[in-house]
Chains A and B, each alone.
Chain A
């Protein structure tokens, strides 16, 4: 399944399918991006990050893609599991000591 982030804040996928969560950022000066996972009643938890000199970075079951031309970021989760159900935020950093969050996407995994 795939979301368009700002325009589709919820995404439902079947367990075992791949998920794609999208994020559009606004500041062309942003040079560092993080995806956070936030479960209900908890603080955001780091998933993966990427710097602006890269266009792809892979972690365990997750991949982040960065397209600076269109200011777009995506998070791909392979073989989505029920424990992946949460709200996912992209966050951007420009300049020192700041981190601004985009609109989240709620991912629901259907067993």
Chain B
């Protein structure tokens, strides 16, 4: 089945130690999104790629970066994780344009110790 896959499902990292979360898709969608979701809150859009074009949300901290080496893969890099970055990180994909559904992966739960 075509899908969005996130690895790992659970990630533990040390305070201040860089960490990378990965996402892959078999849907061949042009757009890939990264969301941060803290406990009992709504997913918050961090940024998205339309093909190679990177679009950062205005309030996304500089500590969060992303890479998209090809259509299928997208990475979320947290340069210096703080305790406040502990959250579920969700990757999603969609076709481009207005009014298109986003398909989500199962998320990676990040713990910072």
Q: Write the residues of chain A forming the contact surface with B, with a CB cutoff of 8 angstroms.
A: 9, 31-32, 34, 36, 41-46, 49, 51, 89, 91, 93-104
Task: List residues of chain B with CB within 8 A of the CB of A100.
Answer: 45
B97 interface contact, C-beta 8 A:
yes
Work out how many contacts link A and B, with CB atoms closer than 8 A.
Answer: 67
Partner of B101, one of A9, A31, A49, A104: A49
Interface flag for B102 (CB, 8 Å):
yes
Tell me if B104 and A43 are in contact (CB < 8 A).
yes
* CB of B8 to closest CB in A, whole Å: 14
For A93, list chain B residues within 8 Å (CB): 98-100
Interface assignment of B81: CB less than 8 Å from any CB of chain A: no
Measured CB to CB, the residues of B under 8 A from A are 4, 6, 31, 33, 35, 40-45, 48, 50, 55, 90, 92, 94, 96-107, 109
Q: Known contacts being A42-B107, A43-B106, A44-B90, is A97 close to B97, with CB within 8 Å? A: yes
Give A34 to B50 CA distance when docked, in angstroms: 20
Do B99 and A97 touch (CB < 8 A)? no
CA distance A96 to B102 in the complex (A): 12
Cβ contacts A to B, 21 pairs, < 8 Å: A34-B101, A34-B102, A43-B6, A43-B105, A46-B101, A51-B99, A89-B42, A93-B99, A93-B100, A94-B98, A96-B50, A96-B97, A97-B48, A97-B94, A97-B96, A99-B45, A99-B94, A101-B35, A101-B42, A103-B41, A104-B41
